[in-house]
A and B are shown apart, each in its own frame.
Chain A
Amino acid sequence: MTTSTLVVKDLTRRGLGLGENLGRWDLKYSPYLFVSPFFILFALVGLFPLLYTAWVALHAWDLLGGQGRWTGFDNFAFILQQRQFWVALRNTLSIFLLSAVPQLIFATAIAAALDTNLRNKTFWRMSVLLPFVVMPVAVTLIFGSMFGERYGLVNRTLADVGLGPIRWHTDPLASHIAIATMVNFRWTGYNALILLAGMQAISRDLYEAATIDGAGSLRRFFRITLPQLRPTIIFVIITATIGGLQIFDEPRLYDQNGLGGEDQQWMTMTIYLYKLGWTQLNFGRAASVAWMLFLVIVAIGLVNLAITRRIATGEGRTA
């Protein structure tokens, strides 16, 4: 009795009206209602902007004046002729590689260490995740003070061991290494936990069999752990790619001007997008950079896929 009045109240509140087929209607259509918030929001802040970005990119469009005339692919042609665009692309890829590769290697090593029969497992797992709660902006300010050219901790330590200073804010590669270090600080432990989860899903029987066959721990790692871990590694690489290529926070706060250095040494694609849109007030060009960035992400994704496929077949042959 109480339940049925509740049903009625519930349904009238949602305006479905009353009737004999209420229950069936509820069963059939409520799921759509339940999933609709995501789709409505995505349509508004995902799909519409996606299409609208294409529209804006094909027009002259500035921040103050709004939509201008149709210009076709002029914005794209302009962007592709800019030296800055190619420098931004180079920097983005360079920072991405300098962060993704060492991060994956370190994360795998940490995960392997965590996968042993440790005392205080939870303590060690939490300790590697600690950097994840520091906002990238804060990480950048902390590491920025260590990577100062004259007084930074890193250069001072280098001087102590008799090495010359590295020009962290002048030399492009040095600045990329500094920025990649910040990214690695925050994400290595996070990825280590994901890889650890993958490792723990590997059947212990495989290890046992290998141990009986006399395989040592290193051999077990390379022959069993790594091949079995492939899906997890691919997952980590894909998320690192999507996030890494959009990098903004670290290069933005690496110096006070936030535009990627005097000579665009660490100007990434997203910094370039920001610069075009919000300092030069040219939304048409900013939108075309957004599309180029999207294409780069898709391209790198395909390269990733090709490489991991090749590795997979290579393994098949040796096994």
Chain B
Amino acid sequence: MSAVSAFHRRRAEARIAQRPGALVYGFLTLILVAAVFPFYWSFLIGSGDAGTLSDTSMSWIPGANFIANARSVVDNESVNFWRALGNSIIVSTVVSASVVFFATLAGFAFAKGRFTGQRGLLVFVIGTMCVPTQLSVVPLFIAMSAFGWTGTLGAVIVPGLVTAFGVFWMTQYIAQALPDELVEAGRIDGASMFQTFWRIALPAARPAAAMLGLFTFIMSWTNFFWPFIVLNQTNPTLPVALATLQANYFVDYSIVLAGVLLATVPLLLLFIAAGRQLVEGIMRGAVKG
């Protein structure tokens, strides 16, 4: 390579590695403001009173009524806030734990097992991701009514116990992260398939499993359509309770938005604690997918 081209190459590298200009930071700051503003707005209205939203000289400084508004939310009997919070925690925890376990188990079998029909079954799993959930609500509801499950958390938990996305995700991860030699070594030592899974595959798959659990937890927490159909006001999850809150307080947005903030805080805390992993997980999944 001539000295001239080496010179050009170094200059090119330097240009790519350069720190971006103010334009890029300005643009990202705008996006950041757009992402944060709705939270601020909710707090602004949620800390005011019934008249705040329609006040034409509305101040941009929050009021002092947030605690009072929040109390109206949790004290409202038809909203059932504490129950909804507890239900959301139960549903999201059980669903994400179950998805992680069964998806890792299936992912291990698909990635490291050798059985007839393996490829076909995996393709089938991926294919099911394209079936819209809405297509099955009518018969699912008929079935749940027949079992007498409507209004119970089981009706929300059971359909989500293992997902195609989860199986696909764990298969991809285990295939590249778990060396075949380790599985073989376990086998030679006389470990059963399940023991190999439990002692070798599960620990090796921990990063991907954590991401899957986090993602599933968020999806489950924010899910509205099916819980709204199959649950009722007396035993709701948080999104269902928020819908009730809106129906009860349609004239007073300060209480509605105080409730919205209360319902959002748990995931916000989760995001602060584990947002970095979530970002990494979404990006890693994208390259594979």
Provide the residues of chain A in CB contact with B36, threshold 8 Å: 127, 130
Which A-chain residue is minimally distant from B222 (CB atoms)? A135
Q: Which of B220-254 contact A (CB under 8 A)?
A: 221-222, 224-225, 228-229, 238-239, 242-243, 246-247, 250, 253
Kindly supply a per-residue 1/0 record for chain A positions 236-263, scoring 1 wherever the CB is within 8 Å of any chain B CB and 0 otherwise. Answer: 0000001001101100110010100000
Given contacts A49-B140, A151-B54, contact A38 B243 (CB under 8 A): no
CA of A185 to CA of B38 in the docked complex: distance in angstroms? 10
Given contacts A232-B286, A293-B134, contact A145 B28 (CB under 8 A): no
Provide the residues of chain A in CB contact with B275, threshold 8 Å: 126, 129-130
Residue of B16, B132, B228, B264 touching A246 (CB-CB under 8 A): B132
Residue of A148, A189, A200, A249 touching B35 (CB-CB under 8 A): A189
CB pair A208 B121 closer than 8 Å: no
CB pair B54 A294 closer than 8 Å: no
* Chain B CB within 8 A of A167 CB: no
CA of A253 to CA of B246 in the docked complex: distance in angstroms? 8
Which A-chain residue is minimally distant from B118 (CB atoms)? A31
Kindly supply a per-residue 1/0 record for chain A positions 86-104, scoring 1 wherever the CB is within 8 Å of any chain B CB and 0 otherwise. Answer: 0000000000000000000
User: Which of under 10, 10 to 19, 20 to 34, or 35 or more describes the interface residues of A?
Assistant: 35 or more
* Chain B CB within 8 A of A297 CB: yes
CA of A118 to CA of B5 in the docked complex: distance in angstroms? 28
Q: Which of B57-110 contact A (CB under 8 A)?
A: 102-103, 105-106, 108-110
Given contacts A34-B105, A138-B263, A143-B38, contact A41 B162 (CB under 8 A): yes
CB pair A45 B134 closer than 8 Å: no
CB pair A138 B260 closer than 8 Å: yes
| Number of A-B residue pairs having CB atoms within 8 Å of each other in the complex | 305
Q: How far is the CB of A152 from chain B (nearest CB, A)?
A: 8
CB pair B134 A290 closer than 8 Å: yes
CB pair B224 A137 closer than 8 Å: yes
Kindly supply a per-residue 1/0 record for chain A positions 68-82, scoring 1 wherever the CB is within 8 Å of any chain B CB and 0 otherwise. Answer: 000000000000000
Q: How far is the CB of B213 from chain A (nearest CB, A)?
A: 15
Provide the residues of chain B in CB contact with A212, threshold 8 Å: 5, 8-9, 12
CA of A45 to CA of B159 in the docked complex: distance in angstroms? 6
* Chain A CB within 8 A of B287 CB: yes
11 contacts between A and B (CB under 8 A): A3-B189, A3-B190, A32-B115, A42-B164, A45-B158, A118-B19, A118-B24, A145-B256, A242-B132, A273-B138, A297-B132
* A contacts, CB < 8 Å to B: 3-4, 6-7, 10-11, 14, 23, 26-32, 34-35, 37-39, 41-42, 45-46, 48-50, 52-53, 56, 109-110, 113-114, 116-119, 122, 124-139, 141-143, 145-146, 148, 150-151, 153, 156, 185, 189-190, 193-198, 200-201, 204, 207-208, 211-212, 232, 235, 242, 245-246, 248-249, 252-253, 256, 258, 270, 273-274, 277-278, 283, 286-287, 290-291, 293-294, 297, 301
* B contacts, CB < 8 Å to A: 5, 8-9, 11-13, 15-20, 24-25, 27-28, 31-32, 34-36, 38, 41-42, 45, 53-54, 56, 102-103, 105-106, 108-110, 113-115, 118, 121, 125, 128, 130-143, 158-159, 161-162, 164, 167, 187, 189-195, 197, 218, 221-222, 224-225, 228-229, 238-239, 242-243, 246-247, 250, 253, 256-257, 260, 263-264, 267-268, 270-271, 275-276, 278-279, 282-287, 289
